[in-house]
Amino acid sequence: MLIRTPKSSEIKENQVTDEHVYQNRRQLLKSMGFLGASALLTNQHASASSWFGGGDDETFKTSALEFSQPKHFQSEDVLTPEQKIISHNNFYEFGTGKADPVTNSQSFKVDPWSLTIDGLVEKPITLGYDDLYKGFDLEERIYRLRCVEAWSMVVPWIGFSLADLIKKANPLSSAKYVVFDTLYDPEQMPGQRNRFSGGGIDYPYVEGLRLDEAMHPLTLMSVGLYGKTLPPQNGAPIRLVVPWKYGFKSIKSVVRIRLTDKKPTTTWEQLAANEYGFYANVNPQVDHPRWTQASERRITTGGLFSRNRIATQMFNGYPEVATLYTNMDLRKNY
């Protein structure tokens, strides 16, 4: 059991962004001139709405995004304050502590970027940095994200359907699985320099989905949150979000998406197969070996270690995906 003592330098409760500020975000950004009718990405290389402030070349800058807000992807759940989302992260490439990623990633370079889609496809494609924003209609989706450590967040992700990206490459009929790779760059990512500093992982980080899971309308490639491009600790410039699966399935800083006919061995399967299975579906009836899955701590305006717990829902409360697993034993296929 890991007992974590918060550092004095971490964010204090009175520094957290008030919820109503984000709820009025569209009006606020418009009043600041960030959401022009024809603008898709405003001032990509400047601090249009940097959460860290400006002036320091070693500080990562985020920029305002233009996006739609489809009603069926909105939610009545209370959002997790932005400051908690960007300061409490799992991203072992930048360190194994929850505060390490934000501390160690601020000089991370995302432009230029290259994302390749290949494997069992008719038309392999490569996207550059600008293509991630200009090649797709960006949407904001309010998704719950459940972590295996029994805490959860409600996050306003911005991105596009993974299905839209895969369709551009024309998958072959023999394709059955989709494999994802994180960037491998030990000079920028200190956790990749040796397995001790990177949680014992043999990098690069690899994740996978079945093709039908990848093509489900809920599966998102995210390029932003809270109205802005992703900060590095959250997976800049592009990451996967699969809301009915545990958070370790949300691979960050993706550089390759490969279609294959064979089930891949993912990083966490390789590292601890008895704890982290390939499917990673949220199933409150199956306990993790080291904690219960039946309930969770929803991180909202309370402390990160609040005693306020709620019951965990099957598939994280997304019952529309249940048909993907008809006749599967979800205790065995965890």
Domains contained in the chain, number: 1
Predicted pLDDT of residue 29:
39
Residue pair 73/139 in contact by the 8 Å Cβ criterion: yes
Residue pair 275/293 in contact by the 8 Å Cβ criterion: no
- CA of 143: how far to CAs of 78, 79, 169, 218, in Å? 11, 9, 27, 9
Predicted pLDDT of residue 199:
87
**Residue 150 belongs to some domain of the structure:** yes
Q: Whole domain around residue 199: which residue ranges?
A: 68-325
Whole-model pTM?
A: 0.83
**Residue 258 belongs to some domain of the structure:** yes
The whole-angstrom separation of Cα 252 and Cα 238 is 7
**Residue 260 belongs to some domain of the structure:** yes
- E strand spans, the chain: 114-119, 125-128, 139-147, 151-161, 177-182, 206-210, 220-225, 228-229, 239-241, 254-260, 295-298, 309-311
**Residue 43 belongs to some domain of the structure:** no
**Residue 283 belongs to some domain of the structure:** yes
The neighbouring-strand residues paired with 141 are 157
Residue pair 250/235 in contact by the 8 Å Cβ criterion: yes
Helix, strand, coil shares, percent, the chain, to 5:
20, 25, 55
* pLDDT tens digit at each of 334 positions of the chain: 333 334 433 433 333 444 444 444 444 334 333 343 333 333 333 333 344 433 345 789 999 999 999 999 999 999 999 999 999 899 999 999 999 999 999 999 999 999 999 999 999 999 999 999 999 999 999 999 999 888 999 999 999 999 999 999 999 999 999 999 999 999 999 999 988 778 899 999 999 999 999 999 999 999 999 999 999 999 999 999 999 999 999 999 999 999 999 999 999 999 999 999 999 999 999 999 999 999 999 998 765 556 678 999 999 999 999 999 999 999 999 9
Predicted pLDDT of residue 32:
36
**Residue 334 belongs to some domain of the structure:** no
Element (H, E) at 212: helix 211-214
Instruction: Enter the tokens of residue 22.
Output: 């984000």
**Residue 10 belongs to some domain of the structure:** no
- CATH number for the domain that contains residue 83: 3.90.420.10
**Residue 40 belongs to some domain of the structure:** no
Predicted pLDDT of residue 305:
59
Predicted pLDDT of residue 10:
41
Predicted pLDDT of residue 146:
95
Predicted pLDDT of residue 302:
66
